[in-house]
Structure 1
Amino acid sequence: MPPRDDRLFAHRGYIHFWLGRICSTSANQMLAVAVAWQVWDLTRSAFALGLVGLLLFLPKLVFMPLAGNLADRLDRRRLIASAQLAQALCLAALTLATASGWISLPLIYALMVLSGTARTFEMPTTQAFVPLLVPTPLLARAVAMGASAHQVSTIVAPALAGFIYVAGAQVVYAIATALVVTASVLLTRATPVRAQVFGQRGASGWHTFVLGLRFIRDQRAVLGAISLDMMAVLLGGATALLPIIASEVLHTGPWGLGLLRSAPALGALAMSVWLAHHPLSGRVGPRMFGAVALFGVATIVFGLSSQLWLSMGALAVLGAADMVSMVFRGAYIQLATPDAMRGRVGAVNSLFIGASNQLGEFESGVTAAWFGAVPAIVLGGVGTLLVVVLWMRWFPDLARLDRLPEAEPPMG
C-alpha cells in the first residue's frame, strides 16, 4: 500500500474520479431540466411529470439485487464505465430524436427506463468504489468532497441547461452526451490505493443481496440513517413540481426552472465545503436529525413562496440541510460496512435513495394532481417533520450517536 497522505487530492486516482463525477452529474442534471420542460411542454400534466420519476425508479426495484452483487464480484471501475457509456447512448438517442422532430412522450419514457437501468448499476458501484481510492481516515472527507462535486454540477448545469434550452432541447442533450463520455474516460484513470476485496462468487445474486439486507437490518443505526433520509425526501421532495412552480406560480420560463434546480445546490455546496474542512466530529446523530427537520421547514417555506428570490433562498437552505444528512449517511454506512459487502449494502442504499428521489417525484406528481402543486409541497414538508419525531423514537441509538466509526469492521 502507498504511504498514507492526509492530503485528499494527493491521491491522483481520486482526482480523476472527482472530475469524472462532476461531468457525469452535470450530464444528469442537464438531462433532468431538458426532460422536465419537454414533458411539461408536451402535456401540461403534473402526473406526466411525476411519471418520469417512477420510470427512473422501476429499474432500481428490478435490477438492484443484481447491481449490488456485481459491484462486489466484478471490477468496480469497469462496471461504472460500462454504465456511463450506456447512459451516453440514451442521451444520443434523445438528441437525434429531438433534432429530427420525431420525439414523443412514449419515446422519452422508454429512454428514461433505459437510462434508469444504467444508473441502477452505476450508483451502488460508485459508492463502493470510493473507499478504494483513499485511505480510511480520509473517507469522510472524500465523501464530503464527492458531494461538493455533485453540488458544483447541480449549481452550474441546471442553470446552464435552462438557458441553452432556448436553442433547443437537442443541444442540451448533445452536451450531456459529451459530458458522460468524458466522465467514462476519466474513470479509466482513477487508480485505487488498495485492492478490491471480492465477494462470494458461488451464491446467486438474490441470495447475496439478501445478505446485504440482513446486514442493514441487524445494524439498527444504519437502517435508521438510510430510512430516515428516504422518508424525508420521499415526502418533502418537490423536484418534479418545479416546472409547474416556475411556470404557474413564479411565471418564468425554462431559465427559471434552471435557477430553481440550481438553488438547492448553492446551499449544499457551501455546506459540503464546510464539512470537507470541518468533518463531523461529535453529536453527529442529533445534528443529522436537526438537519432533516430544517429540510422540512424549508420545504414548507418554498411551498408558500410566490417570489423567485424567496423560493431560491428556501431551496438553498433545503439543500444545505440535506447535505449534512447526505455526508453523515454516506460516511457512516461506508465505515460501518466491510469492503466485501459494500456493493450489496450500497445497492440497498441506492434503492432507498431511488425511492426517495424518483419515487418521491411520482408521489409529488400524484399529490399535485389531486390537491394542486402548492398544497402538495406544504403537506410534504409537514410530513418530513413528523418523520423526524417518529424516527427519533424508533431509532434512539442513532439519535444519540456521537461519533463516526474509526475503522472498517470485520466480516461477520
Structure 2
Amino acid sequence: MPSSATTPHPLRFGNFRAYLVGRFAAVLAQYSMMIVLAWQAYNVARETMTTAGASAQLGLIGLAQFLPLFFLTPVTGWAADHFDRRMITRFTLTLLTAAAGLLAFATYEGWVSLPLIFGIAAIVGVARAFNGPAYSALAPNLIPREVLPNAIAISSVVWQTGMIAGPAVGGYAYAATPWGAYALATGLYAAALVAMFFIGPVPQPPRDTSRHPVRQMIDGFTYVRTNRLVLATITLDLFAVLLAGATALLPVYARDILHVGSAGLGHLAAAPGIGAGATALWFSFRPMKTEVGLKMLGAVILFGLATISFGLTAFVPHSIAMEMGIASLVVLGGADMVSVFVRQSLVQLHTPDAMRGRVSSLSQLTISASNELGEAESGFLAALVGPIAAVIGGGVGAILITLFWARLFPELRLARTFDPPDIREADPSQEKAI
C-alpha cells in the first residue's frame, strides 16, 4: 500500500470537494424536511384527532416515504450501475427542489393539508430511491484507489452529520416560521444541484450487455446474501434502528410529554447532531483503524441504552426531564455515528465498483427501512401501547438484536480493519489484523 507520506488527501481533488458540498446540502435538506413533515402532519392531525390518531399519522408519513424505496430498489441500483451517476443525481435533485418549493408555497399561502403532505412525502421517496444509490456509488469514481478508504470515511462523516443535524435545522427553522423551513430545504437542494454541475466527467463501470437486466438486478441481492460481512453490517442497522425509533416520536414528546413546543423540538432534534458532530470531529483527528466490528456492535448497544434513557424522561421531574432527554439524544447521536461510519466504510470497500450501485441501493433500502419504516413502526406502536412504552421497548429490542447478531455473524466480531481482501492480499502484513 502507498505510504501516508505519498498518498494525496481526498480533498485535493476538485470533483470530490464538489461532491461533498452537494452531498452535505442534500442530506441536510432531506432530513430537515423529514422532521418538518412529521411535525406539521402531527399538528394538522391534532386539530381534529386524538394523540393516538395523530401518532398514527406519523406512521403513515414514514410509510409514504418508504414504499417507493421498497418497490424501486432493484431498478434504482441497476440504473446507478448502467447510467451516468451524475445525471441521475441532477435529475432527482431538481425534483426534490420542486417538491420542497411547493410545500413552502402551500404553507405560506395557508392551504397545506394532510393529503398534500402525504403526496409530497411519496414524491420525495421516489426521488430518494434513485438519488441515494447514484450518490453513494459516485464517490469512489472521483478519487484514486489508494485514497478511497479515507475518502469513504470523510463521505460517511459528512452524510451522517447531515442526517443527524438536519432535524435540528428543520426544527429551529420551523419554530421561526413554518414556510421558512421548507424554503430553507429548497435552497439546500438547489445548492446541491449546483454543486453536482461542478463535477466533471468520471469513469463509468463496464456495462454488462450480455445478460438480462432483471438477472443483473438479482445479482445485487445475491452478492449481499453471500457476503456475510456486508450482510451483517447492513441488517444490524436495519433491525436495531427499526426497533429503537426514538427520534421518530420527537414531535409527540415535544408537544404532549415534555410540553416544550416547536422550540423544544428544535433543541431535542439538535441533540443527536451534537453527538454526531463531536464523534465526527474525533474521527478526523483519531480515525478508527482497529477492532472495527466490535466497536460497531458496542456502539449499537450504546444506541439502545440511550434510547431507553430518553424514554425514561417521562418519569423524572419536569425540571430535569428536558436536560436528561437532550443528554440521552447526544449519546444516541454519537453512537449512531460510530455505527454508520463503520457500516458505510465496510460496505463500500468490500464491494466491486461494477456492483456498487446495486449494493448501495440495498444499503439505502435498509437505512430507509430503519428510518422511514422505523417511523411507521414507532408511530403505529405508539398509537397502540403509548409513546413511552414504544421508545423504551425499542431500546431494549435494539440491545437484544445486537447481542443476537454478534453470535449469528462472527465475521462482524472478527472484522479488525476496514481493509478489503484484495488489499490484504497485496500487503500480507494486514492478514494478521483480521
Q: TM-score range by the shorter chain?
A: over 0.9
Contact 1:65/1:205 (CA < 8 Å) preserved in 2?
no
1:92 to 90, 101, 105: 101
Cα deviation, residue 205, structure 1: 4.0
CA deviation after TM superposition for structure 1 residue 276, in Å: 3.3
Q: Distance in 2 between matches of 1:250 and 1:233?
A: 23
Q: TM-score, normalised by structure 1?
A: 0.93
Q: Match of 2:186, SS?
A: helix
Distance 1:236 1:114, change over 3 A: same
**TM-superposed deviation, 1:78:** 1.3
Find the partner of 2:394 among 380, 384, 387.
380
For residue 283 of structure 1, what is the aligned residue in structure 2? 291
Deviating more after overlay: 144-153 vs 72-81: 144-153
Indicate conservation of the 8 Å contact 2:229/2:412, yes or no: yes
The alignment's TM-score, normalised by the length of structure 2, stands at 0.89
Q: 1:395 to 1:151 in 2, by over 3 A?
A: closer
Does 2:212 align with 1:212?
no
Report the residue type matching 1:33 in the other structure. Answer: I
Q: What's the secondary structure of 2:268's corresponding residue? A: helix
**2:155 aligns to what?**
146
Instruction: Count matched residues.
Output: 406
Q: What does 1:239-254 correspond to in 2, within 5 Å? A: 239-254=247-262
Following the alignment from structure 1 to structure 2, what is the Cα–Cα distance between the partners of residues 258 and 266? 12
- Deviation (angstroms), 1:166: 4.0
1:41 matched residue in structure 2 = 43
CA deviation digits over 1:274-304, x for unaligned, max 9?
A: 2233332211111111111111111110110
Cα deviation digits, residues 35-82 of structure 1 (max 9, x gap): 122111111311101211111100011111110001000111111111
Q: CA deviation at 1:407?
A: 6.4
Q: Is the 8 A contact 2:23 2:158 kept in 1?
A: yes
Tell me if the contact between 2:164 and 2:333 (Cα under 8 Å) persists in the aligned partners.
Answer: no
| Unaligned stretches of 5+ residues in structure 1 | none
1:34 and 1:405 map into 2 onto residues whose CA distance is: 39
Q: Distance in 2 between matches of 1:64 and 1:250?
A: 38
Percent pairwise identity: 38
Separation (CA, whole Å) in 1 of partners of 2:40 and 2:172: 14
Q: Which amino acid aligns with 1:337?
A: T
1:100 and 1:327 mapped to 2: Cα distance?
Answer: 41
2:218 maps to a residue whose letter is V
**C-alpha deviation, 1:252, in angstroms:** 0.8
Structure 2 unaligned regions, length at least 5: 1-5, 47-53, 315-320, 424-434
* Alignment CA distance shift 1:206-1:263 (3 Å): farther
Structure 2 Cα separation of the partners of residues 155 and 207 of structure 1:
36
Work out the CA distance in 2 between the residues paired with 1:369 and 1:206.
40
* Mapping for residues 7-406 of structure 1, pairs under 5 Å: 7-44=9-46, 45-153=54-162, 157-191=166-200, 195-201=203-209, 203-306=211-314, 307-406=321-420
Q: Tell me the distance in 2 between the aligned counterparts of 1:240 and 1:164.
A: 18
CA spacing shift, 1:136–1:78, aligned 2, 3 Å: same
Aligned partners of 2:220 and 2:359 also within 8 Å: yes
Q: How big is the shift at 1:405?
A: 2.2
Q: Provide the C-alpha distance between the structure 2 equivalents of 1:152 and 1:212, rounded to a whole number of angstroms.
A: 28
Query: Distance in 2 between the 1:255 and 1:162 partners?
Result: 7
What secondary structure is seen at the aligned counterpart in 2 of 1:327? helix
- Give the residue type in structure 2 aligned to 1:175: L
How far is 1:120 from its partner? 0.6
Q: Pick closer, same or farther for the CA change 1:245–1:204 going to 2, 3 Å.
A: farther
> What amino acid sits opposite 1:289 in the alignment?
L
- The code of the aligned residue for 2:12 comes to A
State the one-letter code of the partner of 1:95.
Answer: A
Aligned Cα RMSD in Å?
A: 2.0
Matches of 2:164 and 2:335, distance apart in 1 = 16
- Quote the Cα distance in structure 1 between the aligned partners of 2:395 and 2:417: 28
Q: Is the 8 A contact 2:164 2:276 kept in 1?
A: no
Q: Answer yes or no: is the 8 Å Cα contact 1:294–1:318 preserved in 2.
A: yes
Contact 2:152/2:348 (8 A) holds in 1 = no
The answer to whether the 8 A contact 1:145-1:273 is kept is no
Query: What amino acid is aligned across from residue 168 of structure 2 in structure 1?
Result: A
| 1:264 shift after superposition | 1.0
Aligned equivalents of 1:82, 1:385: Cα separation in 2: 40
Deviation at 1:153, TM superposition (A): 3.7
Shift of 1:191: 3.9
Alpha-carbon distance in 1 for matches of 2:248, 2:130? 23
